[in-house]
Structure 1
Amino acid sequence: MKASTYAILVTVMVLAGGLGAYFWGTQGHSSESVPIVKQGDTISVKYYGYIYYGGERRIFDTNIEEVAKDNITYPKTVSFKWRNDFEPLTFKVGDHTMIPGFEKGVIGMKLNETKTIVVPPSEGYPFDWSKVQNYSLVQTIPVIENLSLQDFKKRFGQQNPLDNAVYRDKVHGWNCLILQIDATKGIVTILNEPNVGKYYQPYKNTSSLKIYVEKIKDGKITFKYDIESLPILLPNGGIIDWKNDTMFRVNHNQEVAGKTLYFVVTVIKIKES
Protein backbone atom coordinates (compact mmCIF):
# COMPACT_ATOMS: atom_id res chain seq x y z
CA MET A 1 0.00 0.00 0.00
CA LYS A 2 1.30 3.40 -0.94
CA ALA A 3 1.92 5.90 1.78
CA SER A 4 -0.50 8.33 0.15
CA THR A 5 -3.25 5.65 0.04
CA TYR A 6 -2.68 4.80 3.71
CA ALA A 7 -2.91 8.44 4.64
CA ILE A 8 -6.24 8.75 2.82
CA LEU A 9 -7.66 5.68 4.64
CA VAL A 10 -6.57 7.02 8.00
CA THR A 11 -8.17 10.35 7.23
CA VAL A 12 -11.46 8.66 6.25
CA MET A 13 -11.42 6.52 9.43
CA VAL A 14 -10.80 9.55 11.60
CA LEU A 15 -13.63 11.45 9.90
CA ALA A 16 -15.94 8.47 10.21
CA GLY A 17 -15.06 8.12 13.86
CA GLY A 18 -15.66 11.80 14.36
CA LEU A 19 -19.02 11.62 12.63
CA GLY A 20 -19.95 8.58 14.69
CA ALA A 21 -19.08 10.43 17.88
CA TYR A 22 -21.09 13.38 16.67
CA PHE A 23 -24.25 11.38 15.99
CA TRP A 24 -23.96 9.51 19.32
CA GLY A 25 -23.60 12.81 21.08
CA THR A 26 -26.69 14.14 19.35
CA GLN A 27 -28.75 11.14 20.47
CA GLY A 28 -27.52 11.57 24.02
CA HIS A 29 -28.45 15.21 23.92
CA SER A 30 -31.91 14.30 22.65
CA SER A 31 -32.55 11.97 25.60
CA GLU A 32 -31.49 14.72 27.97
CA SER A 33 -33.91 17.17 26.33
CA VAL A 34 -37.02 15.33 27.54
CA PRO A 35 -39.19 18.01 29.19
CA ILE A 36 -38.71 18.30 32.95
CA VAL A 37 -41.14 20.03 35.30
CA LYS A 38 -39.88 23.29 36.74
CA GLN A 39 -41.27 26.34 38.51
CA GLY A 40 -43.72 28.26 36.33
CA ASP A 41 -44.63 25.34 34.07
CA THR A 42 -48.26 24.39 33.58
CA ILE A 43 -48.59 20.63 33.87
CA SER A 44 -51.29 17.97 33.68
CA VAL A 45 -51.12 14.84 35.82
CA LYS A 46 -52.95 11.62 36.58
CA TYR A 47 -52.75 10.61 40.23
CA TYR A 48 -54.15 8.84 43.22
CA GLY A 49 -53.52 9.76 46.83
CA TYR A 50 -53.61 7.49 49.86
CA ILE A 51 -53.08 7.45 53.61
CA TYR A 52 -52.60 4.61 56.08
CA TYR A 53 -55.05 3.35 58.69
CA GLY A 54 -53.64 0.65 60.92
CA GLY A 55 -51.14 -0.36 58.27
CA GLU A 56 -53.77 -0.49 55.49
CA ARG A 57 -53.48 1.77 52.47
CA ARG A 58 -56.68 3.72 51.75
CA ILE A 59 -57.30 5.94 48.73
CA PHE A 60 -58.67 9.39 49.58
CA ASP A 61 -58.63 10.97 46.12
CA THR A 62 -57.94 10.08 42.47
CA ASN A 63 -58.65 11.25 38.93
CA ILE A 64 -58.13 7.74 37.56
CA GLU A 65 -61.46 6.02 37.00
CA GLU A 66 -60.04 2.49 37.24
CA VAL A 67 -58.63 3.24 40.68
CA ALA A 68 -61.91 4.81 41.82
CA LYS A 69 -63.92 1.75 40.73
CA ASP A 70 -61.60 -0.88 42.22
CA ASN A 71 -62.34 -1.06 45.95
CA ILE A 72 -60.54 -4.38 46.41
CA THR A 73 -57.11 -3.38 45.15
CA TYR A 74 -57.64 0.23 46.18
CA PRO A 75 -59.78 0.38 49.37
CA LYS A 76 -61.11 3.86 50.08
CA THR A 77 -61.22 6.21 53.06
CA VAL A 78 -64.63 6.75 54.66
CA SER A 79 -64.80 10.29 53.24
CA PHE A 80 -63.83 9.31 49.67
CA LYS A 81 -66.12 10.97 47.14
CA TRP A 82 -66.89 9.79 43.61
CA ARG A 83 -66.05 12.32 40.90
CA ASN A 84 -68.36 13.48 38.13
CA ASP A 85 -65.43 13.29 35.72
CA PHE A 86 -61.90 11.93 35.68
CA GLU A 87 -60.10 14.65 33.77
CA PRO A 88 -56.34 15.23 34.24
CA LEU A 89 -55.39 17.64 37.01
CA THR A 90 -53.89 20.77 35.41
CA PHE A 91 -52.13 23.47 37.41
CA LYS A 92 -49.25 25.93 37.26
CA VAL A 93 -46.30 24.91 39.38
CA GLY A 94 -45.57 27.64 41.89
CA ASP A 95 -48.94 29.40 41.96
CA HIS A 96 -49.77 27.72 45.32
CA THR A 97 -53.06 26.18 44.22
CA MET A 98 -51.74 22.81 45.37
CA ILE A 99 -50.48 21.83 48.82
CA PRO A 100 -46.74 22.63 49.21
CA GLY A 101 -45.57 19.01 49.37
CA PHE A 102 -47.33 18.12 46.12
CA GLU A 103 -45.85 21.09 44.26
CA LYS A 104 -42.35 20.35 45.50
CA GLY A 105 -42.73 16.70 44.61
CA VAL A 106 -43.52 17.23 40.92
CA ILE A 107 -40.57 19.56 40.30
CA GLY A 108 -37.89 17.66 38.38
CA MET A 109 -40.27 14.99 37.10
CA LYS A 110 -40.00 14.11 33.41
CA LEU A 111 -42.80 13.84 30.90
CA ASN A 112 -44.58 10.46 31.26
CA GLU A 113 -42.69 9.70 34.46
CA THR A 114 -44.57 8.08 37.35
CA LYS A 115 -43.43 8.84 40.89
CA THR A 116 -44.64 8.37 44.45
CA ILE A 117 -44.57 11.69 46.29
CA VAL A 118 -44.49 11.53 50.09
CA VAL A 119 -45.96 14.62 51.75
CA PRO A 120 -45.37 15.11 55.49
CA PRO A 121 -48.17 16.67 57.57
CA SER A 122 -46.32 19.98 57.72
CA GLU A 123 -46.57 20.32 53.93
CA GLY A 124 -50.05 18.81 53.56
CA TYR A 125 -53.27 19.60 55.40
CA PRO A 126 -53.06 21.21 58.85
CA PHE A 127 -54.72 19.62 61.87
CA ASP A 128 -56.92 21.83 64.08
CA TRP A 129 -57.32 20.47 67.61
CA SER A 130 -60.26 22.79 68.23
CA LYS A 131 -62.23 20.60 65.80
CA VAL A 132 -61.78 17.49 67.97
CA GLN A 133 -64.18 16.51 70.77
CA ASN A 134 -63.86 13.65 73.26
CA TYR A 135 -66.86 11.73 74.60
CA SER A 136 -67.41 9.06 77.21
CA LEU A 137 -68.40 5.64 75.90
CA VAL A 138 -71.00 5.45 78.71
CA GLN A 139 -73.64 8.19 78.68
CA THR A 140 -77.03 8.99 80.21
CA ILE A 141 -80.06 10.91 78.98
CA PRO A 142 -83.48 11.54 80.59
CA VAL A 143 -86.36 9.26 79.75
CA ILE A 144 -88.46 12.38 79.18
CA GLU A 145 -86.83 15.26 77.32
CA ASN A 146 -87.86 18.74 76.27
CA LEU A 147 -86.38 19.63 72.87
CA SER A 148 -86.45 22.79 70.85
CA LEU A 149 -87.90 22.41 67.37
CA GLN A 150 -84.38 22.77 65.96
CA ASP A 151 -83.01 20.00 68.20
CA PHE A 152 -86.01 17.84 67.42
CA LYS A 153 -85.30 18.12 63.70
CA LYS A 154 -81.67 17.09 64.28
CA ARG A 155 -82.69 14.05 66.31
CA PHE A 156 -85.62 12.89 64.20
CA GLY A 157 -85.30 14.56 60.82
CA GLN A 158 -88.87 15.88 61.14
CA GLN A 159 -89.83 19.52 60.72
CA ASN A 160 -93.39 19.39 62.09
CA PRO A 161 -93.92 16.77 64.84
CA LEU A 162 -97.40 15.43 65.57
CA ASP A 163 -98.97 14.71 68.98
CA ASN A 164 -98.81 11.06 70.05
CA ALA A 165 -96.77 10.15 66.98
CA VAL A 166 -93.83 7.72 67.24
CA TYR A 167 -90.58 8.65 65.55
CA ARG A 168 -87.24 6.89 65.32
CA ASP A 169 -84.44 8.79 67.05
CA LYS A 170 -81.70 8.67 64.40
CA VAL A 171 -79.06 9.78 66.93
CA HIS A 172 -79.69 6.82 69.24
CA GLY A 173 -81.64 4.38 67.09
CA TRP A 174 -84.68 3.73 69.33
CA ASN A 175 -88.27 4.94 69.06
CA CYS A 176 -89.69 7.95 70.89
CA LEU A 177 -93.25 9.01 71.61
CA ILE A 178 -94.34 12.64 71.26
CA LEU A 179 -95.99 13.57 74.58
CA GLN A 180 -96.65 17.26 74.04
CA ILE A 181 -95.99 20.10 71.61
CA ASP A 182 -95.86 23.65 72.89
CA ALA A 183 -96.09 25.68 69.69
CA THR A 184 -95.89 28.98 71.58
CA LYS A 185 -92.53 28.17 73.16
CA GLY A 186 -91.36 25.93 70.33
CA ILE A 187 -90.83 23.00 72.70
CA VAL A 188 -91.43 19.30 71.96
CA THR A 189 -91.66 16.88 74.89
CA ILE A 190 -90.63 13.31 74.00
CA LEU A 191 -90.58 9.95 75.76
CA ASN A 192 -87.53 7.80 74.97
CA GLU A 193 -88.59 4.15 74.68
CA PRO A 194 -85.55 1.86 74.45
CA ASN A 195 -85.43 -1.66 75.92
CA VAL A 196 -82.81 -2.61 78.49
CA GLY A 197 -80.29 -5.13 77.22
CA LYS A 198 -80.93 -4.34 73.56
CA TYR A 199 -78.58 -2.96 70.90
CA TYR A 200 -79.63 -0.07 68.67
CA GLN A 201 -77.99 1.32 65.55
CA PRO A 202 -77.81 5.10 65.31
CA TYR A 203 -77.74 6.94 62.00
CA LYS A 204 -77.53 5.07 58.71
CA ASN A 205 -74.64 3.20 57.13
CA THR A 206 -72.82 3.00 60.46
CA SER A 207 -72.82 -0.76 61.05
CA SER A 208 -69.60 -0.48 63.10
CA LEU A 209 -71.33 1.76 65.65
CA LYS A 210 -74.06 0.48 68.00
CA ILE A 211 -75.64 1.59 71.26
CA TYR A 212 -76.26 -0.87 74.10
CA VAL A 213 -78.87 0.08 76.71
CA GLU A 214 -77.50 -0.93 80.12
CA LYS A 215 -80.27 0.27 82.44
CA ILE A 216 -83.21 2.61 82.95
CA LYS A 217 -83.45 3.93 86.50
CA ASP A 218 -84.66 7.05 88.28
CA GLY A 219 -85.87 8.59 85.04
CA LYS A 220 -82.53 8.15 83.27
CA ILE A 221 -81.32 5.88 80.48
CA THR A 222 -77.74 4.63 80.75
CA PHE A 223 -76.27 3.38 77.50
CA LYS A 224 -72.84 2.53 76.09
CA TYR A 225 -71.40 3.05 72.63
CA ASP A 226 -70.14 -0.18 71.06
CA ILE A 227 -67.50 0.70 68.43
CA GLU A 228 -66.40 -2.32 66.42
CA SER A 229 -63.92 -0.74 63.99
CA LEU A 230 -62.48 2.62 63.00
CA PRO A 231 -62.82 5.05 61.34
CA ILE A 232 -66.57 5.77 61.27
CA LEU A 233 -68.01 8.64 59.24
CA LEU A 234 -70.96 10.39 60.91
CA PRO A 235 -73.75 12.20 59.02
CA ASN A 236 -72.53 15.60 60.26
CA GLY A 237 -69.14 15.03 58.64
CA GLY A 238 -67.34 14.16 61.86
CA ILE A 239 -65.24 11.01 62.00
CA ILE A 240 -64.83 8.70 64.98
CA ASP A 241 -61.15 7.90 64.55
CA TRP A 242 -59.92 6.98 68.05
CA LYS A 243 -61.14 5.18 71.16
CA ASN A 244 -59.91 3.47 74.31
CA ASP A 245 -61.69 1.59 77.10
CA THR A 246 -63.58 4.63 78.35
CA MET A 247 -63.48 7.39 75.70
CA PHE A 248 -63.83 8.02 71.98
CA ARG A 249 -63.25 11.10 69.91
CA VAL A 250 -65.08 12.75 67.03
CA ASN A 251 -62.77 14.52 64.62
CA HIS A 252 -64.24 17.28 62.44
CA ASN A 253 -61.00 17.89 60.53
CA GLN A 254 -60.63 16.58 57.01
CA GLU A 255 -59.77 12.88 57.09
CA VAL A 256 -56.35 13.64 55.58
CA ALA A 257 -55.50 16.43 58.04
CA GLY A 258 -52.36 15.86 60.08
CA LYS A 259 -51.45 12.66 58.19
CA THR A 260 -48.57 11.73 55.92
CA LEU A 261 -49.92 11.69 52.37
CA TYR A 262 -48.75 9.51 49.50
CA PHE A 263 -49.42 10.49 45.89
CA VAL A 264 -48.70 8.26 42.90
CA VAL A 265 -48.35 10.81 40.10
CA THR A 266 -47.83 10.51 36.33
CA VAL A 267 -46.96 13.66 34.38
CA ILE A 268 -48.82 13.53 31.05
CA LYS A 269 -48.29 17.09 29.79
CA ILE A 270 -45.82 19.90 30.38
CA LYS A 271 -46.29 23.40 29.01
CA GLU A 272 -43.17 25.42 29.69
CA SER A 273 -43.48 28.93 31.06
Structure 2
Amino acid sequence: MARPIVRDEEGLSTLWSFVGVLVLVIAILAVYFVYVIPKFGHPPLRAQGGDQVKVDYVGRFEDGFVFDTSLASVAEDNASYTKALSFGWRNSWQPLSFAIGAVPLAVIQGFDVGVQGLAVGDAKTIVVPPNLGYGLSDPAKILVKPLLEPVPVRVTMNESAFTNAYKTQPVSGANVTDPFWGWSAYVSVSGSVVTVTNSPVPGQMVHPYGGWAARVDSVDDGADNGTGRIVVHHLLDTTAVDRVGQKTASGTVVFVVTAVDLAAGTYTVNYNNPVKGRNLVFEVTMVAITRVG
Protein backbone atom coordinates (compact mmCIF):
# COMPACT_ATOMS: atom_id res chain seq x y z
CA MET A 1 0.00 0.00 0.00
CA ALA A 2 1.36 3.40 -0.98
CA ARG A 3 2.56 5.69 1.80
CA PRO A 4 0.27 8.69 2.18
CA ILE A 5 1.69 12.14 1.38
CA VAL A 6 2.24 14.03 4.64
CA ARG A 7 3.65 17.49 5.51
CA ASP A 8 7.29 17.27 6.57
CA GLU A 9 7.13 19.88 9.31
CA GLU A 10 10.62 19.11 10.58
CA GLY A 11 12.20 19.49 7.12
CA LEU A 12 10.49 22.81 6.41
CA SER A 13 11.55 24.16 9.77
CA THR A 14 15.17 23.28 9.03
CA LEU A 15 14.98 24.98 5.62
CA TRP A 16 13.54 28.20 7.00
CA SER A 17 16.14 28.25 9.73
CA PHE A 18 18.86 27.97 7.10
CA VAL A 19 17.33 30.79 5.04
CA GLY A 20 17.07 32.98 8.13
CA VAL A 21 20.70 32.41 9.03
CA LEU A 22 21.75 33.14 5.44
CA VAL A 23 19.83 36.43 5.40
CA LEU A 24 21.36 37.43 8.73
CA VAL A 25 24.89 36.65 7.49
CA ILE A 26 24.31 38.69 4.32
CA ALA A 27 23.00 41.62 6.38
CA ILE A 28 26.02 41.50 8.70
CA LEU A 29 28.43 41.39 5.75
CA ALA A 30 26.64 44.32 4.09
CA VAL A 31 26.95 46.42 7.23
CA TYR A 32 30.60 45.45 7.57
CA PHE A 33 31.60 46.33 4.02
CA VAL A 34 29.40 49.43 3.69
CA TYR A 35 29.91 51.03 7.09
CA VAL A 36 32.62 49.35 9.13
CA ILE A 37 35.44 49.04 6.59
CA PRO A 38 35.13 52.63 5.23
CA LYS A 39 35.06 54.01 8.75
CA PHE A 40 37.58 51.84 10.53
CA GLY A 41 39.34 49.78 7.91
CA HIS A 42 41.54 52.38 6.21
CA PRO A 43 41.78 55.75 7.97
CA PRO A 44 42.07 58.66 5.51
CA LEU A 45 45.34 60.49 4.99
CA ARG A 46 45.28 63.68 7.04
CA ALA A 47 47.41 66.72 6.35
CA GLN A 48 50.45 67.18 8.55
CA GLY A 49 53.75 69.01 8.59
CA GLY A 50 55.84 68.34 5.48
CA ASP A 51 52.85 67.48 3.27
CA GLN A 52 52.28 69.25 -0.02
CA VAL A 53 48.61 70.25 -0.09
CA LYS A 54 46.09 71.93 -2.35
CA VAL A 55 43.34 73.92 -0.67
CA ASP A 56 40.33 75.85 -1.94
CA TYR A 57 39.40 78.82 0.22
CA VAL A 58 37.25 81.90 0.64
CA GLY A 59 38.80 84.67 2.75
CA ARG A 60 36.48 87.14 4.47
CA PHE A 61 36.69 89.98 6.94
CA GLU A 62 34.54 89.59 10.04
CA ASP A 63 31.89 91.81 8.43
CA GLY A 64 31.49 89.13 5.74
CA PHE A 65 33.08 90.94 2.81
CA VAL A 66 35.30 88.69 0.66
CA PHE A 67 38.89 89.88 0.22
CA ASP A 68 40.31 86.80 -1.53
CA THR A 69 39.38 83.38 -2.90
CA SER A 70 40.73 80.52 -4.98
CA LEU A 71 37.33 79.80 -6.54
CA ALA A 72 36.17 81.34 -9.81
CA SER A 73 32.54 80.69 -8.83
CA VAL A 74 32.98 82.89 -5.75
CA ALA A 75 34.92 85.57 -7.62
CA GLU A 76 32.21 85.86 -10.26
CA ASP A 77 29.27 85.85 -7.82
CA ASN A 78 28.87 89.34 -6.38
CA ALA A 79 25.32 88.70 -5.21
CA SER A 80 26.17 85.94 -2.73
CA TYR A 81 29.77 86.99 -2.08
CA THR A 82 30.02 90.76 -1.64
CA LYS A 83 33.57 91.89 -2.33
CA ALA A 84 35.72 94.19 -0.23
CA LEU A 85 37.60 97.04 -1.94
CA SER A 86 40.81 95.05 -1.48
CA PHE A 87 39.51 92.10 -3.53
CA GLY A 88 41.65 91.70 -6.64
CA TRP A 89 40.75 90.02 -9.91
CA ARG A 90 43.11 87.40 -11.35
CA ASN A 91 43.49 85.78 -14.74
CA SER A 92 42.98 82.30 -13.31
CA TRP A 93 41.50 80.69 -10.22
CA GLN A 94 42.89 77.48 -8.78
CA PRO A 95 43.49 75.79 -5.41
CA LEU A 96 46.27 77.20 -3.27
CA SER A 97 49.23 74.80 -3.31
CA PHE A 98 51.83 74.91 -0.53
CA ALA A 99 53.98 72.80 1.75
CA ILE A 100 52.79 72.69 5.36
CA GLY A 101 55.43 73.88 7.79
CA ALA A 102 57.82 75.14 5.11
CA VAL A 103 60.74 77.27 6.30
CA PRO A 104 60.01 80.08 5.85
CA LEU A 105 56.25 79.51 5.92
CA ALA A 106 54.61 79.56 2.50
CA VAL A 107 51.36 80.98 3.94
CA ILE A 108 50.42 82.88 7.09
CA GLN A 109 50.89 80.84 10.26
CA GLY A 110 47.22 80.66 11.19
CA PHE A 111 46.35 79.21 7.79
CA ASP A 112 49.26 76.75 7.89
CA VAL A 113 48.22 75.45 11.32
CA GLY A 114 44.50 75.54 10.53
CA VAL A 115 44.59 73.10 7.60
CA GLN A 116 46.53 70.46 9.51
CA GLY A 117 44.44 67.41 10.35
CA LEU A 118 42.14 67.78 7.36
CA ALA A 119 41.55 64.89 4.95
CA VAL A 120 40.68 65.32 1.28
CA GLY A 121 37.12 66.62 1.05
CA ASP A 122 37.09 67.98 4.61
CA ALA A 123 35.89 71.56 5.07
CA LYS A 124 36.67 73.89 7.95
CA THR A 125 36.34 77.52 9.00
CA ILE A 126 39.60 79.00 10.27
CA VAL A 127 39.67 82.30 12.17
CA VAL A 128 43.14 83.84 12.03
CA PRO A 129 43.98 86.63 14.52
CA PRO A 130 46.47 89.36 13.54
CA ASN A 131 49.40 87.77 15.42
CA LEU A 132 49.00 84.60 13.32
CA GLY A 133 48.13 86.50 10.16
CA TYR A 134 49.57 89.66 8.65
CA GLY A 135 50.52 91.36 11.89
CA LEU A 136 49.27 94.37 13.80
CA SER A 137 48.27 97.59 12.08
CA ASP A 138 50.12 100.89 12.59
CA PRO A 139 47.82 103.26 14.54
CA ALA A 140 49.53 106.24 12.91
CA LYS A 141 48.09 105.12 9.58
CA ILE A 142 44.49 105.16 10.84
CA LEU A 143 42.88 108.60 10.56
CA VAL A 144 39.50 109.80 11.80
CA LYS A 145 38.06 112.57 9.64
CA PRO A 146 34.91 114.72 9.80
CA LEU A 147 32.01 114.00 7.47
CA LEU A 148 31.58 117.78 7.24
CA GLU A 149 35.05 118.80 6.09
CA PRO A 150 36.18 122.45 6.05
CA VAL A 151 38.33 123.40 3.05
CA PRO A 152 40.01 126.83 2.63
CA VAL A 153 38.74 129.06 -0.15
CA ARG A 154 42.21 130.54 -0.63
CA VAL A 155 45.43 128.52 -0.44
CA THR A 156 48.96 129.94 -0.80
CA MET A 157 52.03 128.00 -1.92
CA ASN A 158 55.30 128.45 -3.79
CA GLU A 159 55.67 127.86 -7.51
CA SER A 160 57.21 124.41 -7.08
CA ALA A 161 54.34 123.20 -4.89
CA PHE A 162 51.81 124.59 -7.36
CA THR A 163 53.50 122.87 -10.31
CA ASN A 164 53.64 119.56 -8.46
CA ALA A 165 49.96 119.77 -7.51
CA TYR A 166 48.45 121.17 -10.72
CA LYS A 167 50.97 119.85 -13.29
CA THR A 168 51.33 123.26 -14.92
CA GLN A 169 53.18 126.52 -14.38
CA PRO A 170 51.36 129.20 -12.34
CA VAL A 171 50.07 132.13 -14.40
CA SER A 172 48.06 134.99 -12.92
CA GLY A 173 44.49 134.99 -14.15
CA ALA A 174 44.56 131.33 -15.16
CA ASN A 175 41.75 128.96 -14.26
CA VAL A 176 42.71 125.47 -13.13
CA THR A 177 40.90 122.40 -11.88
CA ASP A 178 41.62 121.28 -8.35
CA PRO A 179 43.29 117.85 -8.71
CA PHE A 180 41.59 116.48 -5.60
CA TRP A 181 38.12 118.00 -5.49
CA GLY A 182 37.63 118.60 -9.19
CA TRP A 183 36.19 122.10 -8.85
CA SER A 184 37.42 125.23 -10.64
CA ALA A 185 40.03 127.50 -9.08
CA TYR A 186 41.53 130.90 -9.94
CA VAL A 187 45.30 131.54 -9.88
CA SER A 188 47.13 134.72 -8.89
CA VAL A 189 50.91 135.14 -8.62
CA SER A 190 52.75 137.74 -6.53
CA GLY A 191 56.50 137.30 -6.65
CA SER A 192 57.21 133.72 -5.58
CA VAL A 193 53.84 133.32 -3.84
CA VAL A 194 51.00 131.62 -5.67
CA THR A 195 47.44 131.99 -4.39
CA VAL A 196 44.79 129.56 -5.52
CA THR A 197 41.19 130.65 -4.95
CA ASN A 198 38.82 127.71 -4.99
CA SER A 199 35.42 128.49 -6.47
CA PRO A 200 32.96 125.62 -6.08
CA VAL A 201 29.21 126.20 -6.17
CA PRO A 202 27.02 125.23 -3.19
CA GLY A 203 25.27 121.98 -4.04
CA GLN A 204 28.03 120.93 -6.43
CA MET A 205 28.85 117.21 -6.31
CA VAL A 206 32.50 116.18 -6.10
CA HIS A 207 34.29 112.83 -5.76
CA PRO A 208 37.26 112.95 -3.37
CA TYR A 209 39.93 110.33 -4.09
CA GLY A 210 37.71 109.24 -6.96
CA GLY A 211 36.13 106.96 -4.39
CA TRP A 212 32.78 108.35 -3.21
CA ALA A 213 30.32 111.19 -3.59
CA ALA A 214 30.51 114.41 -1.58
CA ARG A 215 28.50 117.63 -1.76
CA VAL A 216 29.55 121.26 -1.34
CA ASP A 217 27.20 122.41 1.42
CA SER A 218 28.34 126.02 1.75
CA VAL A 219 30.96 128.60 0.73
CA ASP A 220 31.80 131.47 3.11
CA ASP A 221 34.34 133.70 1.38
CA GLY A 222 35.05 135.85 4.45
CA ALA A 223 35.37 133.17 7.12
CA ASP A 224 38.54 132.28 9.03
CA ASN A 225 40.10 135.75 8.90
CA GLY A 226 39.69 136.10 5.17
CA THR A 227 40.95 132.66 4.19
CA GLY A 228 37.36 131.63 3.51
CA ARG A 229 35.73 128.30 4.23
CA ILE A 230 34.12 125.68 2.01
CA VAL A 231 32.14 122.97 3.82
CA VAL A 232 32.13 119.65 2.00
CA HIS A 233 29.74 116.93 3.15
CA HIS A 234 31.09 113.42 2.58
CA LEU A 235 28.06 111.30 1.70
CA LEU A 236 29.21 108.16 3.46
CA ASP A 237 27.30 105.68 5.60
CA THR A 238 28.03 102.25 7.07
CA THR A 239 27.58 100.56 3.69
CA ALA A 240 30.88 102.17 2.66
CA VAL A 241 32.92 100.25 5.24
CA ASP A 242 35.52 97.99 3.55
CA ARG A 243 34.03 98.79 0.15
CA VAL A 244 35.15 102.37 -0.43
CA GLY A 245 38.62 103.90 -0.53
CA GLN A 246 41.38 104.60 -2.99
CA LYS A 247 43.30 102.33 -5.35
CA THR A 248 46.21 103.04 -7.65
CA ALA A 249 45.91 102.46 -11.39
CA SER A 250 47.58 99.07 -10.89
CA GLY A 251 44.99 98.05 -8.29
CA THR A 252 47.05 98.55 -5.13
CA VAL A 253 44.93 99.73 -2.20
CA VAL A 254 46.07 103.10 -0.84
CA PHE A 255 43.50 103.26 1.94
CA VAL A 256 40.10 101.87 2.89
CA VAL A 257 37.20 103.42 4.79
CA THR A 258 36.95 101.16 7.85
CA ALA A 259 34.29 102.98 9.90
CA VAL A 260 31.53 105.55 9.53
CA ASP A 261 29.99 107.05 12.69
CA LEU A 262 26.99 109.14 11.68
CA ALA A 263 26.24 110.11 15.29
CA ALA A 264 29.77 111.44 15.80
CA GLY A 265 29.90 112.85 12.27
CA THR A 266 33.15 111.06 11.41
CA TYR A 267 34.60 108.45 9.10
CA THR A 268 37.82 106.47 9.47
CA VAL A 269 40.37 105.80 6.75
CA ASN A 270 43.00 103.11 7.17
CA TYR A 271 46.27 103.38 5.22
CA ASN A 272 47.53 100.02 6.49
CA ASN A 273 47.43 96.93 4.31
CA PRO A 274 43.71 96.02 4.49
CA VAL A 275 44.44 92.58 6.01
CA LYS A 276 46.71 93.88 8.78
CA GLY A 277 45.41 94.18 12.32
CA ARG A 278 42.22 92.22 11.64
CA ASN A 279 40.73 88.82 12.34
CA LEU A 280 40.50 86.97 9.04
CA VAL A 281 37.96 84.22 8.41
CA PHE A 282 38.86 81.47 5.94
CA GLU A 283 36.44 78.81 4.71
CA VAL A 284 38.75 76.06 3.47
CA THR A 285 38.29 72.72 1.71
CA MET A 286 41.14 70.22 1.37
CA VAL A 287 41.54 69.26 -2.30
CA ALA A 288 44.69 67.12 -2.35
CA ILE A 289 47.44 65.84 -0.04
CA THR A 290 50.83 64.57 -1.20
CA ARG A 291 53.03 63.02 1.47
CA VAL A 292 56.69 63.50 0.75
CA GLY A 293 59.04 60.73 1.91
* TM more than 0.5: yes
User: Could you say which structure has the higher strand fraction?
Assistant: 1
| Range into which the TM-score falls when normalised by the shorter chain | 0.7 to 0.9
Structure 1 portions without partners, runs of 5+: 1-12
Identity level (%)? 25
Write the letter of the residue equivalent to 2:157. N
Shift of 1:72: 0.7
Normalized against structure 1, the TM-score is what? 0.76
Measure the CA separation in 2 of the matches of 1:128 and 1:179: 40
Equivalent residues in 2 for 1:1-273 (5 A)?
Answer: 27-32=38-43, 34-53=44-63, 57-95=64-102, 96-125=105-134, 126-136=136-146, 137-146=148-157, 149=160, 152-154=163-165, 158-161=166-169, 163=171, 164-180=173-189, 189-207=195-213, 209-217=214-222, 218-229=226-237, 230-231=240-241, 232-235=244-247, 237-244=254-261, 245-273=264-292
- CA distance 1:87–1:263, shift in 2 (3 Å): same
Contact in 1 for aligned 2:53/2:288 (Cα 8 Å): yes
Cα distance between partner residues in 2 of 1:151 and 1:124: 42
Any conservation in 1 of the 2:158–2:194 contact (CA below 8 Å)?
A: yes
CA distance in 2, matches of 1:133, 1:263: 28
SS at match of 1:228: coil
Equivalent residues of 2:162, 2:169 under 8 A apart: no
Q: In structure 1, what is the Cα distance between the partners aligned to 2:89 and 2:247?
A: 17
Give the CA deviation at 1:160: 3.1
| CA apart distance, 1:43 | 0.8
Q: Aligned partners of 1:51 and 1:114: how far apart in 2? A: 19
Give the whole-Å Cα distance in 2 for the aligned partners of 1:178 and 1:69. Answer: 48
Structure 2: gaps (5+ residues)? 1-21, 249-253
CA distance, structure 2, for counterparts of residue 147 and residue 84 of structure 1: 46
Q: Give the match's secondary structure for 2:210.
A: coil
- Return the index of the structure with the highest Cα Rg: 2
Normalised by the length of structure 2, the TM-score is 0.71
1:7 counterpart residue number: none
Distance 1:148 1:78, change over 3 A: farther
Deviation at 1:50, TM superposition (A): 0.8
